[in-house]
Amino acid sequence: PRPIVHDCDPGTDDAVALLLALHSPDLDLRAVTTTHGNVSLASTTRNALDLLQFAGRADVPVYAGAAGPLVRAAVYAPEIHGQGGLGGSDLPRSPVPVGALHAALALLALADGVGPDLSVCATGPVTNLALAERLRPGFLRGLREVIVMGGSVDVGAPKLGNVTPYAEFNAFADPHALRVVLESGARPVLFGLNLTRQVRVTRERTATLAAAGTPAARLSADMLNGYLDLIERRDQRVGALHDPCTVAYAVRPDLFRLEDAHLQVVADDTEGSGMTVRADGAANVRLAVEADEDGVWALLGGRLG
């Protein structure tokens, strides 16, 4: 199985991504590193520990990382994920303590221990990845694959973003960190809103998932229904299965089509802050541009069911 670390800010869809990783025998989840993002670092870390315990995988270590972005003040999204971060789902508390290392140091130690076969899948603001890269330049390039949910490119619709008209949340929450990752030479596989909006979350999909009947399938369906409840209050009828696309890619790359691109991220404090834009230059990302929507849902149902 492929060794991987999940860097995340659970977050309803982060939680589903984590459950998918835990139920994929072709992945060897070595650690979970947590970041500020959808809710505070304290809450994302709590949620990661509790999810692992729920899944019977409290043996996977959790390392807490950045409590805020590199430069800016932290921004959260409780209106999308609920106050606790899991869309209203409440899990029993794990008795397991968080790991002693900061997430950035844990990432470096894991890379040393596992070697060049290690991949990192990041589904929150990429502050921890950027910190590790700054501590050890070349760290990201030395990984087998860096898979990131963030940004939004060429969707062809007037509204590109989900947090501002221009910016996707993870990119907006720490654009300076995303810039470090884009400039690292690692050529991350990037899942922006242009891709994740192709994998829609609907009541029919969550009902099918719940019908799979296992605790993991039912919890995932509950969290995604909680997310749909919250976005419907904001007049959005269709949700997107953002973060699970990254883990689905790690397991089944054939479900996605990638294109080489050169992307830059606007990091200054203008109204375009956090916007990702195509520019001339050598490819610095492999941009996911097309998804097999039924295939991703079938993978999720099959693995969690």
| Contact set with Ca ion (CB under 5 A) | 9, 11, 14, 123-124, 243
Could you say whether residue 161 binds ligand BDR (CB under 6 A)?
A: no
Residue nearest to ligand BDR (CB): 169
DSSP annotation of 248 reads H
Q: Please, which residue, 108 or 209, has the CB nearer to ligand BDR?
A: 209
Count the residues of the shown chain that bind ligand BDR, applying the rule CB under 6 A. 15
Site string (30-69) toward ligand BDR, x via CB under 6 A: --------x-------------------------------
Q: Which of 243, 297, 263, 261 is nearest to 7 (CA)?
A: 243
CB atoms under 10 Å from CB of 235, counted, come to 6
Helix (H) or strand (E) segment spanning residue 29: strand 27-34
Q: Please, which residue, 40 or 158, has the CB nearer to Ca ion?
A: 40
Could you say whether residue 276 binds ligand BDR (CB under 6 A)?
A: no
Concatenated DSSP letters of 62-111: EEE--SS-SSS-----HHHH-SSSSTT---PPP-PPPPSS-HHHHHHHHH
Residue 54 Ramachandran class (φ > 0 left, ψ -120 to 50 alpha, else beta): alpha
Q: Is 176 a catalytic residue?
A: no
Cα of 177 vs its chain's centroid, Å: 14
Stretch that binds ligand BDR, among 60-68, 83-91, 167-175, 255-263 (CB under 6 A): 167-175
Among 36, 72, 242, 303, binds ligand BDR (CB under 6 A): 242
Q: Please, which residue, 133 or 243, has the CB nearer to Ca ion?
A: 243
* Cis? peptide before 11, omega within 30° of 0: yes
Site string (63-92) toward ligand BDR, x via CB under 6 A: --------------x--x------------
Out of 23, 176, 242, 262, pick the active-site residue: 242
Q: How far is it, in rounded angstroms, from Cα 26 to Cα 251?
A: 7
Residue at token pair 């989840």 = 29
Among 24, 120, 243, 276, binds ligand BDR (CB under 6 A): 243
Quick one: what does residue 169 bind among ligand BDR, Ca ion, none, with the CB cut-off 5 to 8 Å set by partner type?
ligand BDR
Concatenated DSSP letters of 177-191: HHHHHHTTS---EEE
Q: Please, which residue, 105 or 190, has the CB nearer to ligand BDR?
A: 190
Q: At its nearest, how many Å lie between ligand BDR and the CB of residue 76?
A: 10
Whether residue 3 contacts residue 30, with contact meaning beta carbons closer than 8 Å, is answered with yes
Give Rg (Cα) of the chain. Answer: 17
Q: What separation in angstroms does the CA of 242 have from each of 19, 193, 256? A: 14, 7, 13
Among 119, 123, 194, 220, binds ligand BDR (CB under 6 A): 123
Could you say whether residue 149 binds ligand BDR (CB under 6 A)?
A: yes
Residues at the contact surface with ligand BDR, assessed by CB under 6 A: 11, 13-14, 38, 77, 80, 123-124, 149, 162, 168-170, 242-243
Enumerate the active-site residues.
242
